[in-house]
Amino acid sequence: MTNARILIVEDEAIVAKSIENRLMRLGYAVPAIAFSGKEAIQKVAETRPDLVLMDIKLQGEMDGVEAAKEIRDRFDVPVVYLTAYADKTTLQQAKITDPFGYLLKPFGVRELGNVIEMAIYKHKLEKRLKESEARYRAVSELTSDYAYCFRVEPDGRLRCEWATEAFIRATGLAFDKVDVHDRWQRAVHADDLAMARRHLQTLLSGQPDVSEYRVISQEGEVRWVRARGRPVWDEAKNRVVRIIGAMEDITARKQAEETLRQHNRELALFNRASQVFHSTLDLDQVLVHVLEQVHRQLTTTACSAWLIDPETNELICRQVIDPESDAVRGWRLAPGQGIAGWVACTGQSLITSDTRTDERHFKEVDKQTGVVRRSILTVPLRIKQKVIGVIQALDAETDRFSTTDLTLLVPMTASAAIAIENARLYEQVRRRAAELEQRLDEHTNRASPFSHRDPKK
């Protein structure tokens, strides 16, 4: 979303200008710069930006946290905090305003762009969820497809007196003379049975109740429902004689909530991983950090990092997390050889469910290590349009990896590729500097008239 409009709130003019320049380099528009909390609120009202970059520590009577809260409440504009203070007290105060991200000063251009894009995307999801919930509430107040009436027998058993067709399809409960206890329990998802039983016991005690749980239709489809029930009390019999209820299908809402939670988990993982990747310029250390993150998130039996040799285009196994790592580290694959080579050449990620059915698998690796890998998840390491290597996650079981694992790994490898390329460039510069220094020493020794004299004379 490079056309997004970003409002900067920073009380140091030089810093604000620097941030503006970086945002413009990334393709964002900067409609205004505010230097105080009050001015920030005024600028948001005037310009209606897509996102606010807010410094937590601002001069004046209103700091960044107070300004962010008012901006969120009045304008529903996402806020990303900028701060050089990472102490617990500051972050705890900032959390109250539910920000969409943090950037610790100093930060790089790529880190800035990543946080902004994730914050805008998260805000869009949240907005869609709110709109969906509002529409759902409006419709559910007017009608409910899942409605029923149970008669309560003196012994506490339930019989279905009437029910809508949708309710019957969802639960398999029809109005007949058979009690519905067993069928009701079969209709409720096993993990939510305790919740459904508490809901029923509350109704039988004479209290209305609202609960959310999953039901399984006769076709085996799992749906989330919001069950509302009201008991009918008979004073003469001194007990509940009927339960009238309705269930609203809230599957879409639950799926949206889970999508948002998953997105938040991925965002947190991405931020943590990026900080770890960029914490060093030592190439081997960066690769170890990358593989440790992959191993931790996917709980695989092995992970490996293969980098392309710029001179030969071969793939070199530079780092491995594997009990047999010494047998694989340093291996070279010809261009296009093996699954790793195929991914490096095509630039396409690949999930291999069973290596026995994939002709691209290089079986010599299994022979060398003595360990057979059945499942392999391979993702290219890409800098812009150039592939510099691949990351592989391997496991002995078949069908070990899913598209969810791939979705989790792709943004992580994107950040890893940047850190790896930076480390490689640093390694090249350091090696070149050492060569130049050695040549200079040799030249100095040859040029010195004393270089060949015996130091004892």
Tell me, yes or no, whether 163 and 241 share the same domain.
yes
Tell me, yes or no, whether 121 and 147 share the same domain.
no
| The pLDDT of residue 180 | 61
Tell me, yes or no, whether 169 and 109 share the same domain.
no
Burial call 403-420: b when 16+ CB within 10 Å, e when fewer: eebbebbebbbbbbbbbb
Tell me, yes or no, whether 192 and 132 share the same domain.
no
Tell me, yes or no, whether 133 and 214 share the same domain.
no
Residue 131 placed within a domain: yes
Q: In this model, does residue 238 exceed pLDDT 70?
A: yes
pTM above the 0.85 mark? Answer: no
For residue 151, what is the domain's CATH number?
A: 3.30.450.20
Q: For the ranges 37-51, 79-93, 127-141, 270-284, which has the lowest average pLDDT?
A: 127-141
Tell me, yes or no, whether 289 and 235 share the same domain.
no
For residue 391, what is the domain's CATH number?
A: 3.30.450.40
- Domains held by the chain: number: 3
Residue 448 placed within a domain: no
Residue 206 placed within a domain: yes
Domain boundary (91, 107, 140) is at: 140
**What's the angle, vertex CA 130, arms to CA 411 and CA 69, rounded to 5?**
80
More confident residue, 283 or 253: 253
Tell me, yes or no, whether 159 and 283 share the same domain.
no
Tell me, yes or no, whether 428 and 368 share the same domain.
yes
| The pLDDT of residue 301 | 85
Domain boundary (107, 140, 173) is at: 140
Q: What is the mean pLDDT of residues 178-192?
A: 73
Q: What is the mean pLDDT of residues 415-443?
A: 77
Q: Render pLDDT for 350-382 as a digit per residue (tens, 0 to 9).
A: 999 999 999 999 888 777 777 788 999 999 998
Burial call 253-282: b when 16+ CB within 10 Å, e when fewer: bbebeeeeeeeeebbebbbebbebbbebbe
Q: In angstroms, what CA-CA distances link 434 with 311, 343, 422, 431?
A: 21, 35, 18, 5
Tell me, yes or no, whether 179 and 291 share the same domain.
no
Tell me, yes or no, whether 317 and 180 share the same domain.
no
Q: In this model, does residue 344 exceed pLDDT 90?
A: yes
For residue 105, what is the domain's CATH number?
A: 3.40.50.2300
Residue 357 placed within a domain: yes
Residue 315 placed within a domain: yes
Residue 77 placed within a domain: yes
Tell me, yes or no, whether 232 and 339 share the same domain.
no
Which residue range is the domain that position 171 belongs to? 143-250
Tell me, yes or no, whether 37 and 97 share the same domain.
yes
Residue 264 placed within a domain: no
Whole-angstrom Cα distance, residue 321 to residue 262?
A: 27
Residue in the structure block whose two tokens are 């109250």: 96
Q: Are 136 and 250 in contact (CB under 8 A)?
A: yes
